[in-house]
Structure 1
Amino acid sequence: MAVKKILMLVGDFVEDYEAMVPFQMLLMVGHKVHTVCPGKKAGESVSTAVHDFEGHQTYSEKPGHNFGITTTFEEIKAEDYDALVVPGGRSPEYLRLNPAVIECVRHFAKENKPIAAVCHGQQLLAAADVIKGKTCTGYPAVQPEVEAAGATWCEVNETASNACTDGNIVTAPAWPAHPAWIREFLKVLGSTIEP
Protein backbone atom coordinates (compact mmCIF):
# COMPACT_ATOMS: atom_id res chain seq x y z
CA MET A 1 0.00 0.00 0.00
CA ALA A 2 1.29 3.43 -0.92
CA VAL A 3 1.41 5.69 2.11
CA LYS A 4 -0.74 8.80 1.64
CA LYS A 5 -0.22 12.15 3.30
CA ILE A 6 -3.61 13.29 4.61
CA LEU A 7 -4.65 16.69 5.92
CA MET A 8 -7.34 16.88 8.63
CA LEU A 9 -9.02 20.27 9.24
CA VAL A 10 -10.23 20.76 12.81
CA GLY A 11 -11.15 23.56 15.18
CA ASP A 12 -12.40 23.98 18.71
CA PHE A 13 -15.45 21.84 19.44
CA VAL A 14 -14.88 19.53 16.53
CA GLU A 15 -16.83 16.35 17.28
CA ASP A 16 -14.58 14.16 19.43
CA TYR A 17 -15.18 10.77 17.75
CA GLU A 18 -15.21 12.31 14.28
CA ALA A 19 -11.68 13.65 14.75
CA MET A 20 -10.02 11.08 17.00
CA VAL A 21 -11.32 7.85 15.50
CA PRO A 22 -10.58 8.63 11.81
CA PHE A 23 -7.19 10.04 12.81
CA GLN A 24 -6.32 6.81 14.62
CA MET A 25 -7.82 4.55 11.93
CA LEU A 26 -5.87 6.24 9.14
CA LEU A 27 -2.64 6.06 11.15
CA MET A 28 -3.36 2.41 11.95
CA VAL A 29 -3.39 1.46 8.27
CA GLY A 30 -0.12 3.28 7.67
CA HIS A 31 -1.04 6.73 6.34
CA LYS A 32 0.46 9.99 7.59
CA VAL A 33 -2.15 12.38 8.99
CA HIS A 34 -1.47 16.03 9.78
CA THR A 35 -4.04 17.80 11.93
CA VAL A 36 -4.33 21.55 11.49
CA CYS A 37 -6.40 24.39 12.92
CA PRO A 38 -6.18 28.00 11.75
CA GLY A 39 -4.67 30.15 14.49
CA LYS A 40 -3.13 27.21 16.36
CA LYS A 41 0.39 25.88 16.10
CA ALA A 42 1.81 22.37 16.10
CA GLY A 43 1.85 21.07 19.66
CA GLU A 44 -1.28 22.95 20.70
CA SER A 45 -4.73 21.36 20.87
CA VAL A 46 -8.40 21.97 20.20
CA SER A 47 -11.22 21.17 22.60
CA THR A 48 -13.67 18.60 21.32
CA ALA A 49 -17.34 17.93 21.99
CA VAL A 50 -19.10 14.57 22.10
CA HIS A 51 -22.39 14.56 20.21
CA ASP A 52 -24.74 11.81 21.30
CA PHE A 53 -28.10 10.61 20.09
CA GLU A 54 -30.29 10.12 23.15
CA GLY A 55 -33.82 10.45 21.79
CA HIS A 56 -34.06 14.26 21.79
CA GLN A 57 -35.03 16.28 18.74
CA THR A 58 -31.34 16.79 18.03
CA TYR A 59 -28.04 15.52 19.41
CA SER A 60 -26.83 16.38 22.88
CA GLU A 61 -23.37 17.85 23.42
CA LYS A 62 -20.90 17.02 26.16
CA PRO A 63 -17.26 17.98 26.76
CA GLY A 64 -14.79 15.73 24.97
CA HIS A 65 -11.01 15.43 25.00
CA ASN A 66 -8.25 17.72 23.86
CA PHE A 67 -7.18 16.80 20.33
CA GLY A 68 -3.60 17.51 19.34
CA ILE A 69 -2.59 19.76 16.47
CA THR A 70 0.38 18.20 14.68
CA THR A 71 1.08 20.86 12.06
CA THR A 72 0.71 24.64 11.86
CA PHE A 73 -2.05 25.55 9.38
CA GLU A 74 -0.37 28.77 8.25
CA GLU A 75 2.72 26.78 7.18
CA ILE A 76 1.05 24.06 5.10
CA LYS A 77 0.78 23.82 1.34
CA ALA A 78 -2.33 21.96 0.19
CA GLU A 79 -0.44 20.65 -2.84
CA ASP A 80 1.78 18.63 -0.49
CA TYR A 81 -1.19 16.45 0.57
CA ASP A 82 -2.89 13.53 -1.14
CA ALA A 83 -6.27 13.78 0.60
CA LEU A 84 -8.42 15.82 2.96
CA VAL A 85 -10.56 14.85 5.99
CA VAL A 86 -13.18 17.21 7.42
CA PRO A 87 -14.71 16.05 10.72
CA GLY A 88 -18.01 17.46 11.95
CA GLY A 89 -19.07 19.09 15.17
CA ARG A 90 -19.26 22.83 15.60
CA SER A 91 -15.92 23.74 14.02
CA PRO A 92 -17.02 23.60 10.34
CA GLU A 93 -19.55 26.40 10.90
CA TYR A 94 -16.78 28.89 11.70
CA LEU A 95 -13.90 27.36 9.73
CA ARG A 96 -15.95 28.07 6.58
CA LEU A 97 -15.61 31.79 7.33
CA ASN A 98 -11.82 31.61 6.86
CA PRO A 99 -10.82 32.35 3.22
CA ALA A 100 -7.58 30.34 3.56
CA VAL A 101 -9.56 27.27 4.67
CA ILE A 102 -11.95 27.68 1.73
CA GLU A 103 -9.03 27.90 -0.71
CA CYS A 104 -7.48 24.81 0.86
CA VAL A 105 -10.69 22.80 0.39
CA ARG A 106 -11.04 24.05 -3.18
CA HIS A 107 -7.52 22.84 -3.98
CA PHE A 108 -8.45 19.24 -3.11
CA ALA A 109 -11.64 19.42 -5.17
CA LYS A 110 -9.97 21.08 -8.18
CA GLU A 111 -7.21 18.46 -8.22
CA ASN A 112 -9.76 15.64 -7.76
CA LYS A 113 -8.00 14.48 -4.60
CA PRO A 114 -9.95 12.31 -2.14
CA ILE A 115 -12.07 14.28 0.34
CA ALA A 116 -13.83 12.68 3.32
CA ALA A 117 -16.37 14.74 5.27
CA VAL A 118 -18.69 13.65 8.04
CA CYS A 119 -21.69 15.14 9.84
CA HIS A 120 -21.46 18.97 9.81
CA GLY A 121 -18.22 18.80 7.79
CA GLN A 122 -20.39 19.21 4.70
CA GLN A 123 -20.99 22.84 5.77
CA LEU A 124 -17.38 23.47 4.81
CA LEU A 125 -17.74 21.66 1.46
CA ALA A 126 -20.90 23.62 0.69
CA ALA A 127 -19.24 26.95 1.57
CA ALA A 128 -16.27 26.09 -0.64
CA ASP A 129 -18.68 25.35 -3.51
CA VAL A 130 -17.16 21.93 -4.23
CA ILE A 131 -20.23 19.67 -4.11
CA LYS A 132 -22.33 21.04 -6.96
CA GLY A 133 -23.55 18.08 -9.01
CA LYS A 134 -22.37 15.56 -6.41
CA THR A 135 -24.43 13.19 -4.27
CA CYS A 136 -23.68 13.66 -0.57
CA THR A 137 -25.01 12.87 2.86
CA GLY A 138 -24.41 14.39 6.27
CA TYR A 139 -26.11 15.15 9.53
CA PRO A 140 -29.78 15.68 8.57
CA ALA A 141 -29.70 19.32 9.73
CA VAL A 142 -27.22 20.18 6.95
CA GLN A 143 -29.44 18.80 4.15
CA PRO A 144 -30.73 22.29 3.21
CA GLU A 145 -27.15 23.61 2.87
CA VAL A 146 -26.02 20.59 0.86
CA GLU A 147 -28.95 20.94 -1.53
CA ALA A 148 -28.56 24.74 -1.77
CA ALA A 149 -24.93 24.10 -2.80
CA GLY A 150 -26.23 22.10 -5.78
CA ALA A 151 -25.71 18.57 -4.45
CA THR A 152 -28.20 15.72 -4.40
CA TRP A 153 -28.99 14.48 -0.89
CA CYS A 154 -28.27 10.82 -0.12
CA GLU A 155 -30.75 9.65 2.52
CA VAL A 156 -29.46 8.77 5.99
CA ASN A 157 -30.37 5.28 7.17
CA GLU A 158 -32.12 4.81 10.51
CA THR A 159 -28.86 4.11 12.39
CA ALA A 160 -26.88 6.92 10.67
CA SER A 161 -24.32 4.29 9.69
CA ASN A 162 -24.24 4.69 5.91
CA ALA A 163 -21.70 6.45 3.72
CA CYS A 164 -22.04 7.97 0.25
CA THR A 165 -19.28 8.06 -2.36
CA ASP A 166 -19.42 10.23 -5.46
CA GLY A 167 -16.15 10.33 -7.34
CA ASN A 168 -13.47 11.72 -5.03
CA ILE A 169 -15.87 12.74 -2.25
CA VAL A 170 -16.94 10.40 0.57
CA THR A 171 -19.53 11.65 3.04
CA ALA A 172 -21.33 10.23 6.06
CA PRO A 173 -24.00 11.43 8.50
CA ALA A 174 -22.25 11.03 11.86
CA TRP A 175 -19.77 8.94 13.86
CA PRO A 176 -21.92 5.76 13.79
CA ALA A 177 -20.94 5.59 10.11
CA HIS A 178 -17.18 5.38 10.75
CA PRO A 179 -16.80 1.77 9.53
CA ALA A 180 -18.57 2.49 6.23
CA TRP A 181 -17.13 6.00 5.82
CA ILE A 182 -13.49 5.07 6.42
CA ARG A 183 -13.83 1.86 4.35
CA GLU A 184 -15.12 3.91 1.39
CA PHE A 185 -12.47 6.60 1.91
CA LEU A 186 -9.73 3.96 1.88
CA LYS A 187 -11.07 2.67 -1.44
CA VAL A 188 -10.98 6.17 -2.92
CA LEU A 189 -7.43 6.55 -1.56
CA GLY A 190 -6.49 3.32 -3.33
CA SER A 191 -5.60 1.68 -0.01
CA THR A 192 -6.09 -1.97 0.72
CA ILE A 193 -5.95 -3.73 4.05
CA GLU A 194 -4.41 -7.18 3.92
CA PRO A 195 -6.39 -9.88 5.78
Structure 2
Amino acid sequence: MTRKILMLVGDFVEDYEVMVPFQALLAVGYTVHAVCPDKQAGEQIATAIHDFEGDQTYTEKRGHNFTLNASFDAIDPADYDGLCIPGGRAPEYIRLNPRVLDIVRHFDGAKKPIAAVCHGLQVLAAADVLRGKHCTAYPACGPDVSAAGGHYESIAVDAAMTDGHLVSAPAWPAHPQWIAQFLALLGTTVHHA
Protein backbone atom coordinates (compact mmCIF):
# COMPACT_ATOMS: atom_id res chain seq x y z
CA MET A 1 0.00 0.00 0.00
CA THR A 2 1.41 3.38 -1.03
CA ARG A 3 1.94 5.84 1.77
CA LYS A 4 0.63 9.35 1.20
CA ILE A 5 1.88 12.81 2.11
CA LEU A 6 -0.23 15.98 2.01
CA MET A 7 1.53 19.23 1.12
CA LEU A 8 -0.21 22.56 1.87
CA VAL A 9 0.89 25.31 -0.52
CA GLY A 10 -0.22 28.63 -2.00
CA ASP A 11 0.90 31.30 -4.41
CA PHE A 12 4.44 32.48 -3.76
CA VAL A 13 5.43 29.45 -1.73
CA GLU A 14 9.23 29.30 -1.69
CA ASP A 15 10.38 27.57 -4.89
CA TYR A 16 12.96 25.16 -3.40
CA GLU A 17 10.82 24.48 -0.33
CA VAL A 18 7.99 23.10 -2.47
CA MET A 19 9.93 21.56 -5.38
CA VAL A 20 12.68 19.72 -3.49
CA PRO A 21 10.59 17.92 -0.84
CA PHE A 22 7.83 17.17 -3.38
CA GLN A 23 10.31 15.48 -5.72
CA ALA A 24 12.37 13.84 -2.96
CA LEU A 25 9.31 12.25 -1.35
CA LEU A 26 8.14 10.99 -4.75
CA ALA A 27 11.62 9.57 -5.40
CA VAL A 28 11.50 7.39 -2.28
CA GLY A 29 8.08 6.04 -3.17
CA TYR A 30 5.51 8.28 -1.47
CA THR A 31 2.38 9.60 -3.13
CA VAL A 32 2.46 13.35 -2.54
CA HIS A 33 -0.62 15.51 -3.01
CA ALA A 34 0.09 19.25 -3.25
CA VAL A 35 -3.05 21.28 -2.57
CA CYS A 36 -3.94 24.95 -2.32
CA PRO A 37 -7.10 26.53 -0.92
CA ASP A 38 -9.50 27.62 -3.68
CA LYS A 39 -7.57 25.73 -6.39
CA GLN A 40 -8.07 22.43 -8.19
CA ALA A 41 -5.77 19.68 -9.46
CA GLY A 42 -4.06 20.81 -12.66
CA GLU A 43 -4.04 24.50 -11.73
CA GLN A 44 -0.73 26.21 -11.03
CA ILE A 45 0.65 28.37 -8.26
CA ALA A 46 3.45 30.88 -8.58
CA THR A 47 6.59 30.32 -6.54
CA ALA A 48 9.16 32.76 -5.18
CA ILE A 49 12.89 32.24 -4.81
CA HIS A 50 14.21 33.46 -1.48
CA ASP A 51 17.96 33.91 -1.33
CA PHE A 52 20.44 35.00 1.28
CA GLU A 53 22.66 37.63 -0.32
CA GLY A 54 24.02 39.56 2.66
CA ASP A 55 21.07 41.87 3.28
CA GLN A 56 19.20 42.14 6.58
CA THR A 57 16.60 39.70 5.23
CA TYR A 58 16.25 37.40 2.25
CA THR A 59 15.74 38.72 -1.26
CA GLU A 60 12.79 37.54 -3.34
CA LYS A 61 12.59 36.74 -7.05
CA ARG A 62 9.88 35.11 -9.17
CA GLY A 63 10.30 31.34 -9.33
CA HIS A 64 8.82 28.53 -11.41
CA ASN A 65 5.15 27.70 -11.75
CA PHE A 66 4.19 24.62 -9.73
CA THR A 67 1.29 22.43 -10.83
CA LEU A 68 -1.07 21.20 -8.13
CA ASN A 69 -1.88 17.50 -8.39
CA ALA A 70 -4.91 17.31 -6.07
CA SER A 71 -7.92 19.49 -5.28
CA PHE A 72 -8.04 21.13 -1.85
CA ASP A 73 -11.79 20.63 -1.39
CA ALA A 74 -11.57 16.91 -2.23
CA ILE A 75 -8.89 15.81 0.23
CA ASP A 76 -9.53 14.00 3.50
CA PRO A 77 -6.62 14.42 5.94
CA ALA A 78 -7.39 10.98 7.41
CA ASP A 79 -6.12 9.47 4.13
CA TYR A 80 -2.58 10.80 4.66
CA ASP A 81 0.39 9.58 6.69
CA GLY A 82 2.21 12.90 6.98
CA LEU A 83 1.93 16.64 6.39
CA CYS A 84 4.47 18.96 4.75
CA ILE A 85 4.23 22.76 4.94
CA PRO A 86 6.79 24.71 2.88
CA GLY A 87 7.60 28.34 3.57
CA GLY A 88 7.71 31.46 1.46
CA ARG A 89 4.88 33.99 1.55
CA ALA A 90 2.05 31.47 1.16
CA PRO A 91 1.83 30.54 4.88
CA GLU A 92 0.96 34.10 5.92
CA TYR A 93 -2.35 33.94 4.02
CA ILE A 94 -3.23 30.21 3.79
CA ARG A 95 -3.29 30.27 7.60
CA LEU A 96 -6.38 32.47 7.30
CA ASN A 97 -8.33 29.55 5.83
CA PRO A 98 -10.22 27.69 8.61
CA ARG A 99 -10.01 24.35 6.79
CA VAL A 100 -6.20 24.64 6.54
CA LEU A 101 -6.10 25.01 10.33
CA ASP A 102 -8.47 22.05 10.82
CA ILE A 103 -6.24 19.91 8.59
CA VAL A 104 -3.18 20.84 10.65
CA ARG A 105 -5.04 20.07 13.88
CA HIS A 106 -6.00 16.65 12.50
CA PHE A 107 -2.35 15.73 11.88
CA ASP A 108 -1.25 17.09 15.25
CA GLY A 109 -4.07 15.40 17.16
CA ALA A 110 -3.35 12.06 15.49
CA LYS A 111 0.41 12.50 16.15
CA LYS A 112 1.14 12.03 12.44
CA PRO A 113 4.50 13.38 11.23
CA ILE A 114 4.48 17.07 10.34
CA ALA A 115 7.35 18.78 8.50
CA ALA A 116 7.38 22.59 8.39
CA VAL A 117 10.15 24.81 7.09
CA CYS A 118 10.85 28.54 7.18
CA HIS A 119 7.56 30.51 7.29
CA GLY A 120 5.57 27.25 7.32
CA LEU A 121 5.60 27.50 11.13
CA GLN A 122 3.17 30.44 10.80
CA VAL A 123 0.49 27.94 9.80
CA LEU A 124 1.25 25.76 12.83
CA ALA A 125 1.18 28.80 15.10
CA ALA A 126 -2.21 29.87 13.73
CA ALA A 127 -3.54 26.32 14.24
CA ASP A 128 -2.41 26.51 17.89
CA VAL A 129 -0.41 23.26 17.77
CA LEU A 130 2.98 24.56 18.96
CA ARG A 131 2.33 24.78 22.72
CA GLY A 132 5.27 23.30 24.58
CA LYS A 133 7.05 22.15 21.39
CA HIS A 134 10.66 22.94 20.62
CA CYS A 135 11.00 24.02 17.01
CA THR A 136 12.72 26.37 14.65
CA ALA A 137 11.66 28.58 11.74
CA TYR A 138 12.95 31.49 9.71
CA PRO A 139 14.16 33.89 12.45
CA ALA A 140 11.48 36.50 11.58
CA CYS A 141 8.88 33.85 12.52
CA GLY A 142 10.41 33.23 15.95
CA PRO A 143 7.99 35.67 17.62
CA ASP A 144 5.05 33.78 16.03
CA VAL A 145 6.32 30.51 17.48
CA SER A 146 6.80 32.05 20.93
CA ALA A 147 3.41 33.81 20.90
CA ALA A 148 1.80 30.43 20.10
CA GLY A 149 3.42 28.86 23.17
CA GLY A 150 6.24 27.10 21.35
CA HIS A 151 9.91 27.20 22.27
CA TYR A 152 11.70 28.85 19.34
CA GLU A 153 15.23 27.53 18.82
CA SER A 154 17.73 29.56 16.81
CA ILE A 155 19.82 27.02 14.88
CA ALA A 156 22.08 27.10 11.82
CA VAL A 157 20.26 27.74 8.55
CA ASP A 158 21.37 24.33 7.25
CA ALA A 159 20.16 22.38 10.29
CA ALA A 160 16.81 20.86 11.28
CA MET A 161 15.33 19.62 14.52
CA THR A 162 12.69 17.12 15.63
CA ASP A 163 10.42 17.29 18.66
CA GLY A 164 7.95 14.43 18.87
CA HIS A 165 6.08 14.22 15.56
CA LEU A 166 7.24 17.67 14.35
CA VAL A 167 10.36 18.32 12.28
CA SER A 168 11.23 21.95 11.54
CA ALA A 169 13.98 23.90 9.81
CA PRO A 170 14.85 27.58 9.30
CA ALA A 171 15.05 27.57 5.49
CA TRP A 172 15.81 25.55 2.35
CA PRO A 173 19.56 25.11 3.03
CA ALA A 174 18.44 22.59 5.69
CA HIS A 175 16.71 20.30 3.17
CA PRO A 176 19.12 17.35 3.62
CA GLN A 177 18.54 17.23 7.40
CA TRP A 178 14.89 18.31 7.26
CA ILE A 179 13.86 15.71 4.69
CA ALA A 180 15.95 12.98 6.36
CA GLN A 181 14.35 13.68 9.75
CA PHE A 182 10.86 13.73 8.20
CA LEU A 183 11.56 10.37 6.52
CA ALA A 184 12.71 9.00 9.89
CA LEU A 185 9.44 10.13 11.52
CA LEU A 186 7.55 8.40 8.71
CA GLY A 187 9.47 5.18 9.45
CA THR A 188 11.35 5.24 6.14
CA THR A 189 14.92 4.06 5.83
CA VAL A 190 17.05 4.32 2.73
CA HIS A 191 19.39 1.40 2.02
CA HIS A 192 22.34 1.48 -0.36
CA ALA A 193 23.22 -1.61 -2.38
Question: TM-score normalised by the shorter chain: which range applies?
Answer: over 0.9
Q: Does residue 1:115 correspond to 2:131, yes or no?
A: no
In the alignment, is residue 180 of structure 1 matched against residue 166 of structure 2?
A: no
Q: Which residue of 2 aligns with 1:166?
A: 163
Q: Cα offset for 1:47?
A: 0.2
* Partner Cα separation in structure 2 for residue 118 and residue 81 of structure 1: 19
- The aligned residue for residue 58 of structure 1 is 57
CA distance in 1, matches of 2:2, 2:170: 27
Quote how far apart the aligned CAs of 1:3 are.
3.9
Query: 1:44 offset after TM fit, Å?
Result: 0.6
User: What is the RMSD of the two structures over their aligned residues, measured on CA atoms?
Assistant: 0.8
Q: TM-score, normalised by structure 2?
A: 0.98
> Are 1:139 and 1:173, in contact at CA under 8 Å, matched by a contact in 2?
yes
Residues in 2 aligned to 1:93 and 1:154: alpha-carbon distance in whole angstroms: 20
User: 1:126 aligned to 2:107?
Assistant: no
Number of corresponding residues: 192
Matched, 1:81 2:76: no
Q: Which residue of 2 aligns with 1:140?
A: 139
Counterpart CA distance in 2 for 1:54 and 1:156 is 19
Residues of 1 paired with 2:143 and 2:83: CA distance?
23
Do the aligned partners of 1:39 and 1:73 also contact (CA within 8 Å) in 2?
yes
2:117, 2:2 → 1: CA distance? Answer: 22
CA apart distance, 1:4:
1.9
Q: Look up the SS of the partner of 2:47 in the other structure.
A: strand
Output one character per residue of 1:34-70: Cα deviation in whole Å (capped at 9) or x when no partner.
Answer: 0000111000110000000000000000000001100
Separation in 2 of the partners of 1:89 and 1:183?
A: 21
Contact residue 135 and residue 153 of structure 1 kept, 8 A: yes
Moved over 2 A (4+): none
**Partner SS, residue 70 of structure 1:** coil
Partner deviation per Cα, 1:90-149 (whole Å, 9 max, x = no partner)? 000000000011001100000000000000000000000011110000100000010111
Instruction: Provide the rounded CA distance (Å) in 1 between the counterparts of 2:14 and 2:88.
Output: 4
Mapped partners of 1:57, 1:155: distance in 2: 16
TM-score between both structures, scaled by the size of structure 1 = 0.97
Q: CA–CA distance in 2 between the matches of 1:3 and 1:135? A: 31
- Equivalent residue of 1:133, what SS? coil
Letter in 2 for 1:161: D
What CA distance in whole angstroms lies between the structure 2 residues aligned with 1:45 and 1:133? 36
Percent identical among aligned pairs is 61
